[in-house]
A and B are shown apart, each in its own frame.
Chain A
Amino acid sequence: MVKSYIRRAYSSFTAHVFDIPPRLMAFLFLLVLLVIPVAGLNPYYLSMMIYANVLAIFAASWDLLVGRTGQISLGHALFFGIGGYSTALLFKFFGLPTWVTIPIALLIGSSVAVLIGFPCLRVKGPYLALVTMAFPIILHSIVKWTPLSYIFEGEYGIRRLPAFFAFLPIRQQRIAEYYLTLILFFAAAVIIYKVANSKTGIVFVSILDDELASKACGINVTKYKLMSLIISGLFGTLAGCLQAHLLKVSNPSMFLLTWSFTPIIVTFLGGIGTIYGPLVGAYIYYILDKYFLAIQLPRLCKYFGVTLPGEFEYAKLLIFTLIVLVLVIKWPRGIARFTTDKLEDLEEARDLDERGPRIWKRYERKKK
């Protein structure tokens, strides 16, 4: 009896709580994000949220290129680094303000997308992945090791970049930065989502599914691939610019493989090919990595009286990898898509309930 009561309570709960259209759900998600700084969050968490916003933009741009167009890129760090370095160089040599350097950096980023598009989009599949991977590695060595590196200030990178809201006191600065990244995050998400679901987006998916068949439909495949690469590169560059100005430094580590693989992990966590998946995935990534593993786990260990050895820092990555592995195996289509699938199932069940014949219900009741 208790069991049936619980079940009924649960089903009425799901019926009422999950009875939200996706659009409203996105709106609520944004609303929660909007009030977070007002709720008086710890500045550390707030800055993590800021970086989560930046990562969400970056991962969504990767998802458009790979999840929707099928052009596997393992070198998205290229755009990240280009963004960081172009805004930093423009500041260093011309002393331009931030609101001028970032648009110029975006232009540079999209021209780089065009430039690498011509050699990259001739190759397919694993070869494309390898070619794209090469570019950030080349640039990493250029800015770090070669004689040219004095322009880029070598290993330390270009430091003392201006903050976005330098005129505000430090605490308000964080909050202002949070809102800035949130607005850009939302704008980028809407633009990428709209592009991915437009008629052009349909062509992108057709290239992912079957390139030959879309050629046979009269589609200039190279043009559309390039278009996807440019849009993706643009938002990747934006993320790089934001990261550089938030950290106030753009250093060679922006070209590292880590920055190529983080968006991949994030996208797979959230659900590849959904665009909204990586947005959710970025938050999950930061909660896992920076909150659970960096704060809660040591606290838990302390509580149980376990002393962590100094090597734990390295083990953290292992634990993180294991958690990600479990999540990806459990929900191979991503957490966000898993949720939407559940919602759709509920909707369908409710539709059947409403439209289905009464007799069927009576029959169900009798069976019990």
Chain B
Amino acid sequence: MHLLEVENLTKRFGGLTAVKNVSFHIDEGEMVGIIGPNGAGKTTLFNLISGFLEPDSGTVKFEGENITGLAPHKIVNKGIARTFQIVRPFRHLPVIANVMVALKSPRGARKIEWLKTMERKAADLLEDVGISELALEPAENVGHGTLKRLEMAKALATEPDLLMLDEPFGGLNPLETDFLTKSIMRMHLDEPSRGILIVEHKLYALMKIIQRVIVLHQGEKIAEGKPEEIAKNKTVIEVYMGKGM
């Protein structure tokens, strides 16, 4: 049984088919990347899996259970957490309270162990992503890099079985990218059974950490395989660079 199984997923926006018959699967402990040029339907695919959009056809199965069309918060409580491409912090709240919102969800609350308060757990999560010194700062005052990591802490707060990161490196400088790459690797080592799905533009950072790549183009899956194979794949190069390379 796969951790996540996506079968023939299709989503249309009016005349435009954003995602066309996409099928793939993720196993436990696998790190999978989704790449593709702008408008390839990567984020739409994310929204379909996490329940923010309802697919026109096709199914999403998580741990053998059909979760197609379920409300987003129910999907999170089943164990799929996601981050957003554009950061969405709760601006009126301090950084630590942002994480506590996620800990207040049924799954987050379940994972708070005995004798560990919600505050303690939230502080630990901030420690994990390396922003614990900014814990009491209002989220509207902290920088973009911090908010990216805060997004990650929020997603990790529910201790998901599948973590979906939507462009985690977007808008980060090389140093921050490097740090985040390392923390994703560490996260993977900490919880080896957790599947991680990453959508990314920065191929250099991505290709180092993932085990399998799925390439989308105009809503269709055009290739799938190991990063080294994909880098040499003719169709993929054509899609990215144009014909005649």
Contacts and interface: CB of A to CB of B under 8 A. Distances in A.
B107 to A, nearest CB: 6
Interface in A9-63: none
Given A199-B100, A202-B101, A219-B105, A214 B76 contact: no
Given A205-B92, A209-B93, A210-B90, A217 B52 contact: no
Given A200-B104, A205-B92, A209-B91, A217 B97 contact: no
Residue of A200, A212, A215, A217 with most chain B CB atoms under a 10 A cut-off? A217
A226 to B, nearest CB: 14
Interface in B133-160: 154-155, 157-158
Interface string A121-148: 0000000000000000000000000000
B101 A203 contact: yes
B101 A208 contact: no
B104 A213 contact: no
Interface string B208-225: 000000000000000000
Q: Is the interface of B mostly helix, strand, loop or mixed?
A: helix
Interface residues of A, number: 20
A219 B76 CA distance: 9
A6 interface: no
B87 to A, nearest CB: 9
A220 B52 CA distance: 14
B101 A217 contact: yes
A273 B92 CA distance: 10
Interface in B101-118: 101-102, 104-108, 118
Interface range, B side = 20 to 34
Contact of A203 (B72, B104, B154): B104
Contacts of A199: 100, 104, 118
B98 to A, nearest CB: 8
Nearest to B93: A205
Given A217-B157, A217-B158, A218-B107, A206 B90 contact: yes
B194 interface: no
B88 interface: yes
Interface in A214-249: 214-221
B149 to A, nearest CB: 15
Contacts of A206: 90, 93, 98, 101
A205 B72 contact: no
Nearest to A214: B101
B88 A219 contact: no
B77 interface: yes
A202 B105 CA distance: 12
A217 B84 CA distance: 11
A273 B93 CA distance: 12
Contact of A216 (B50, B100, B107): B50
B182 interface: no
Contacts of A215: 52, 71-73, 76
Given A199-B104, A202-B100, A218 B90 contact: no
10 contacts: A209-B90, A210-B89, A210-B91, A213-B89, A216-B72, A216-B84, A216-B88, A218-B105, A218-B106, A218-B108
Give the 4 A-B residue pairs with the shortest CB-CB distance, closest first: A218-B105, A218-B76, A213-B88, A217-B102
Given A200-B104, A203-B104, 11 more contacts: A199-B100, A202-B101, A202-B104, A205-B97, A206-B101, A213-B88, A215-B71, A215-B76, A217-B105, A218-B108, A219-B101
